[in-house]
Amino acid sequence: MSSPPPRSLNSSRIHVIAWPGLLFGSWILAWFLCLFLRGRFHWSSSTDTIYWIAMKAILWVLPALLAIRLFEQADVIEFLDLSASRLRPGLIWGLGVGAVLVAITYLGRHLPAGAHPREVTFSLVFVNAVIVAPLVEEIAMRGFFLKALERNGMSFWPANLWTTLLFAAMHVPGWLFNGRFPSTTVLVQAMIPIAGLGLLFGWTKHRAGSLYAAIILHVINNLYSAFFP
């Protein structure tokens, strides 16, 4: 099924403009709710992980899928480039770029530093980081937002840049609420590699014409990070 021609970002496409702010705002509210519930019920790390998996499904994926059906008026699988015909190029590009990324990161960073892989426990936290997060984030970012920007008149690289800025910004609330970054400088330095990965995920998806490629690459990156933090 071919995509309809791009349209300009006018008032009828307001969902594309409003979606980043709504997503970011709802994510901050989710963090406030999480802190309240943590203090109220003193729940375990497993319960905390279940909460975040639910929030990702409700706040990231569900609105994107609804926007595709209601506003873009498109088939979800075709819009997201997740049809069966997209699987093979997605595997080739995702695994290929993933192998290059791992090789460059290991040879350029961890091998010279003498780093060794740490022992990783298969747990709900691990599943969330390696499987759930890549799937959710790629559906929302490269699957919906990047595609919606392109369908509504924006060329790939500006669309990829805007998607990457949102992708990087969505990591900030979690860092700040967990008190990880004491200064703006340190925060910006942490966002640079996230932004670089975002651009790479978008480019890989674009070249493959398949969201499978971005999902696989994201999984590989997070899996490697689990062993070499």
pLDDT digits (tens, 9 = 90+) for 40-85: 999 998 999 999 999 999 999 999 999 999 999 999 999 999 999 9
User: In this predicted model, what pLDDT tens digit does every residue of 176-191 receive, in sequence order?
Assistant: 898 888 788 888 888 9
pTM of the model: 0.92
CA distances from 208 to 18, 64, 78, 215 (A): 28, 21, 14, 12
Per-residue pLDDT band for 13 (boundaries 50, 70, 90) equals confident
Question: Would you say residue 2 has pLDDT above 80?
Answer: no
